[in-house]
């Protein structure tokens, strides 16, 4: 298993990054929030999970070990492959998912593209007691690249683009959730990008 890759960022794409490791470019499929913290030419360390298929070897990358472990645990549920598991991590933090499963919160799961009400109900049953107890969204999390210097709206915009939305749609969604972010800033808090992303996705679903 490849637990992490470390090296300069050689290239960035909407859903992946290339990290140079010992002169070899490692292609890593990343969550939008993780990509938002990377800059070409800068050093980065990304927690990874290697998914082996008959015809492919795919590295999935995350901001920290908690995201990686949650990604792997999600795939123990039937019908959850790496793409859906990554989408769940892209929309919600590991702790948010743990709370949702612990409390039977269907709405949190249906905020993820590709999960309907029946699918959410099934996941709640299968993932019960698998994800563990919430530990606090910031405990043990380490930044990569320059995440602290990336504004919440840039991270949110990158996340929406990474999920396949057009630039115009992403711009409109960011504008719609800006009041929520401003309220958090006025209260002296850092805007929670996963929560804003969920609200943005809900607004996009309503307008489609």
Last residue of a domain, one of 37, 62, 87: 62
Residue 145 included in any domain: no
Residues 174 and 157 in one domain: yes
Residues 58 and 70 in one domain: no
> What does the pLDDT read at residue 135?
64
Supply the CATH number for residue 11's domain: 2.40.50.140
**In angstroms, what CA-CA distances link 153 with 103, 121, 186?**
30, 32, 16
**In angstroms, what CA-CA distances link 135 with 45, 66, 100, 158, 176?**
23, 10, 13, 27, 30
Residues 19 and 50 in one domain: yes
The structural domain count of the chain equals 3
- pLDDT in 10s for each residue of the chain, 208 residues: 788 999 999 999 888 999 999 999 999 999 888 888 889 999 999 999 999 888 889 999 998 999 999 999 999 999 899 999 999 998 888 988 988 898 888 988 988 888 999 999 999 999 988 887 776 544 334 444 333 335 778 777 777 776 667 788 888 889 999 998 888 888 888 788 777 888 888 887 665 5
Residue 155 included in any domain: yes
Residue 34 included in any domain: yes
* Structural domain containing residue 23: 4-62
Residue 142 included in any domain: no
User: How big is the chain, counted in residues?
Assistant: 208
Residue 132 included in any domain: no
> What does the pLDDT read at residue 142?
40
Residues 57 and 73 in one domain: no
Residue 135 included in any domain: no
Which stretches of 59-208 are DSSP H helices? 65-74, 82-91, 94-103, 106-110, 117-127, 152-162, 167-186, 193-207
> What does the pLDDT read at residue 65?
92
Overall pTM > 0.75: no
> What does the pLDDT read at residue 145?
39
Residue 40 included in any domain: yes
Supply the CATH number for residue 167's domain: 1.10.8
Supply the CATH number for residue 118's domain: 1.10.150.20
> What's the CA gap between 46 and 5, in Å, rounded?
5
Residues 73 and 57 in one domain: no
- B/e letters for 174-197, b = 16+ CB within 10 Å, e = fewer, are bebbeeebeeeeeeeeebbbbbbb
Residues 53 and 82 in one domain: no
Residue 118 included in any domain: yes
């Amino acid at each position: 298993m490849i637990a992490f890759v470390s090296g300069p960022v050689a290239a960035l794409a909407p859903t992946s990054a290339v990290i140079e490791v010992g002169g070899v470019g490692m292609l890593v499929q990343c969550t939008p929030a993780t990509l938002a913290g990377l800059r070409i030419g800068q050093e980065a360390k990304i927690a990874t999970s290697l998914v082996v298929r008959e015809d492919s070897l795919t590295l999935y990358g995350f901001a920290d070990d908690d995201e990686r472990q949650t990604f792997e645990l999600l795939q123990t549920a039937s019908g959850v492959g790496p793409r859906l598991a990554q989408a769940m991590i892209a929309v919600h933090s590991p702790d948010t998912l743990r709370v949702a499963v612990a409390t039977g919160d269907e709405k949190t799961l249906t905020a993820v593209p590709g999960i309907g009400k029946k699918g959410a109900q099934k996941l709640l049953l299968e993932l019960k007691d698998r994800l563990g107890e919430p530990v606090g969204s910031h405990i043990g999390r380490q930044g990569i690249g320059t995440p602290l210097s990336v504004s919440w709206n840039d991270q949110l915009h990158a996340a929406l683009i990474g999920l396949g939305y057009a630039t115009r749609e992403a711009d409109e969604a960011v504008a719609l959730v800006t009041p929520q972010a401003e309220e958090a800033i006025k209260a002296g808090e850092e805007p929670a990008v996963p929560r804003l992303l969920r609200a943005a996705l809900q607004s996009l679903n309503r307008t489609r």
